[in-house]
């Protein structure tokens, strides 16, 4: 029975790397995968999933209006798909998560979603919230805070490296805009009690 998986972590945990490795494993065995990434995240160029260690692969992009079930079903009718992999899954809508659940349930194709659990204020993203509720399997990937503890939070920083405690939930960026921290150092940074990760 195909399942819906959610692999979540803070920034810099290697989510995209793990996704690309999983896709490679299927393809190496002659199987077909379909990759998706959020249109809003074009840091590596539109329609590209790229990891910080230099791996990349082309992907379909999803937007808020994208019907993921329809897209997968259409591709599956042309060429049998063995797995669907979604990067930046925090940007999925609630409806899109349900569509991916249908891909697993109705089409029998495993769906592996990779994304952030929470935003820069510690609040769940809509896509992550729905995945936490619906996924058959939840797996946390580990990142490391500067103190050596597990990093679970994403601190947004400004151009001078100072913590940002307000703003829109979504602001695309990498190491120039976010720092992965343990909960203790995240809270301390937001309240100005200590420096990032010290």
For the stretch 124-161, pLDDT in tens is 999 999 999 999 999 999 999 999 999 999 888 887 77
- 44 sits in the region (left: phi over 0; alpha: psi -120 to 50; else beta) called alpha
Taking a C-beta distance cutoff of 8 angstroms, is the pair 163, 196 a contact?
A: yes
Rounded (10°) angle between helices 68-78 and 94-107: 30
Q: Would residue 140 show up in a list of annotated catalytic residues for this protein? A: no
pTM of the model: 0.89
| Per-domain boundaries in the chain | 4-142
Distance CA(178)–CA(78), nearest Å, equals: 40
Q: Which of 60, 65, 88, 171 is catalytic?
A: 88
Residue 17 banded pLDDT, cuts 50, 70, 90: very high
Residue 99 φ then ψ, to 5°: -65, -40
* CATH T-level fold of 4-142: Rossmann fold (3.40.50)
């Amino acid at each position: 029975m195909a399942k819906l998986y959610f692999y979540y972590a803070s920034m810099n945990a290697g989510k995209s790397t793990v996704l690309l490795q999983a896709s490679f494993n299927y393809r190496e065995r002659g199987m077909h995968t379909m990759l998706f990434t959020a249109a809003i995240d074009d840091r590596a160029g539109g329609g590209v999933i790229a990891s910080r260690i230099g791996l990349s692969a082309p992907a379909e992009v999803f937007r808020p209006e994208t019907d993921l079930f329809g897209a997968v079903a259409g591709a599956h009718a042309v060429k049998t798909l063995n797995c669907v992999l979604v990067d930046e899954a925090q940007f999925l809508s609630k409806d899109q998560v349900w569509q991916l659940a249908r891909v697993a349930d109705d089409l029998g194709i495993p769906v592996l979603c990779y994304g952030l659990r929470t935003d820069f204020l510690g609040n769940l993203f809509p896509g992550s919230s729905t995945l936490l509720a619906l996924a058959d399997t939840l797996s946390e990937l580990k990142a490391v805070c500067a103190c050596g503890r597990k990093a679970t939070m994403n601190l947004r920083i400004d151009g001078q490296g100072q913590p940002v405690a307000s703003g829109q939930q979504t602001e695309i960026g990498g190491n120039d805009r976010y720092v992965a921290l343990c909960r203790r150092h995240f809270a301390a940074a937001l309240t100005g009690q200590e420096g990032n990760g010290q």
